[in-house]
Structures are given as structure tokens and as C-alpha cells.
Amino acid sequence: QQQVKQSPQSLIVQKGGIPIINCAYENTAFDYFPWYQQFPGKGPALLIAIRPDVSEKKEGRFTISFNKSAKQFSLHIMDSQPGDSATYFCAASSSGTYKYIFGTGTRLKVLA
């Protein structure tokens, strides 16, 4: 019940495409859902996060869509660029705990 399932494992898109990465959870106590971007040899960098009281959040080219009833959330990257090539992790946490539960990661490659 503590797992966060992430798909796909890897994704290749053309420049300008809109990659979509999906995550699903079981624990209804989760109330904070961040996305992290990680480049090789670097630490995860916070991209965008959402709480269950909204269904969508946009920051620049990054959008999170949230479906509370389905217990799913997804990251969309608009107008993707080669510089977006990285591994993306979704995560979840609840107010009663301090820890993040991470998904397994999606390796994105954006072709020039």
C-alpha cells in the first residue's frame, strides 16, 4: 500500500512532442505529490508538485494532472526539448509522515 507505481520505464519522443508519465498509488492518506527531474550524476531536482484539492497544475512547460478517484497522477511536458532528457520520478507523501515514497523512475529521451 506504500508503493507508487510509475510508467513507462522509458520513453523516447521527438523534439516538440508531449511526453506523458503516469503514476498510481493505493494509500489514500497521501496528500502531496511532487515530481523530480534527475540528470546523470546529479541529485533529484524538484520540478512541480500538486495536492489532491486541485485536478491540474501548470508551471511553465510542465503540467501535472491529478485524478483523485482513480488515484492516479501524471506529468506532461509541453514542447519537449533535448535538454529535458533526464530521469523523472514521481513521489508521494502524507501529512502524517516525513518521508517520500518514490516511483521507479522514467528515463526520457527527447530527440533533436
Partner 1 sequence: EPEVTQTPSHQVTQMGQEVILRCVPISNHLYFYWYRQILGQKVEFLVSFYNNEISEKSEIFDDQFSVERPDGSNFTLKIRSTKLEDSAMYFCASSDNRAEQYFGPGTRLTVT
7 lines the binding site for partner 1 (CB under 8 A): no
In the bound complex, what is the minimum distance in angstroms from residue 2's beta carbon to partner 1?
10
For residues 49 and 33, the answer to whether their CB atoms sit within 8 Å is yes
Total Cβ atoms within 10 A of residue 48: 17
- Pick the closer one to partner 1 by CB: 16 or 60: 60
Rg (CA), the chain: 13
- Pick the closer one to partner 1 by CB: 13 or 100: 100
For residues 21 and 10, the answer to whether their CB atoms sit within 8 Å is no
By residue count, the chain amounts to 112
Q: In the structure grid, which three cell numbers stand for residue 106, read together?
A: 522514467
37 lines the binding site for partner 1 (CB under 8 A): no
Q: Could you give the 3-state DSSP secondary structure of residue 103?
A: coil
Find the part of the chain contacting partner 1 (CB under 8 A) among 12-20, 21-29, 73-81, 85-93. 85-93
64 lines the binding site for partner 1 (CB under 8 A): no
Chain residues that interact with partner 1, rule: CB under 8 A = 32, 34, 36, 41-46, 49, 89, 91, 93, 95, 97-105
